[in-house]
Amino acid sequence: WMCVMVCPFGAIVQDVENHIAVKCDLCPDRDDYACVVACPTGALFVGTKEEFEKKIKEKKAKR
C-alpha cells in the first residue's frame, strides 16, 4: 500500500474489500494525465501503440 501513501495526487486508493490498489482513473477532470506530467524522467506515456512508436522514432532521430 506504499503507493497509496506516496502518490502526490491522492489518485491511488485502497479497495479494501478486494485487496487491491485502484491506481488510475485516467484523470477525467484534466486535459492531461497528472502522473505523466509529474514524472521527472519522462518515463510515462499514455497513448496508442502507434503514437508510442512515433515518439520512439522521434527520440532516436534526435540522437
Q: What is the pLDDT of residues 8-32, one digit of tens each?
A: 877 788 999 998 888 878 889 999 9
Per the structure, the complete domain to which residue 43 belongs is given by 2-62
Q: Higher-confidence residue: 52 or 3?
A: 52
Longest dimension (CA), the chain: 49
pLDDT at 38: 82
Render the burial of 22-50: b for 16+ CB within 10 Å, e for the rest. Answer: eeeeebeeeeebbbeeeeeeeeeeeeeee
Length of the chain: 63
Q: How far apart are the C-alpha atoms of 56 and 12, rounded to whole Å?
A: 28
Number of domains in the chain: 1
The pLDDT, as a whole number, for residue 61 is 95
Question: What would the pLDDT profile of 31-51 be if each residue is shown by its tens digit?
Answer: 998 888 888 888 888 889 999
Higher pLDDT, 61 or 10: 61
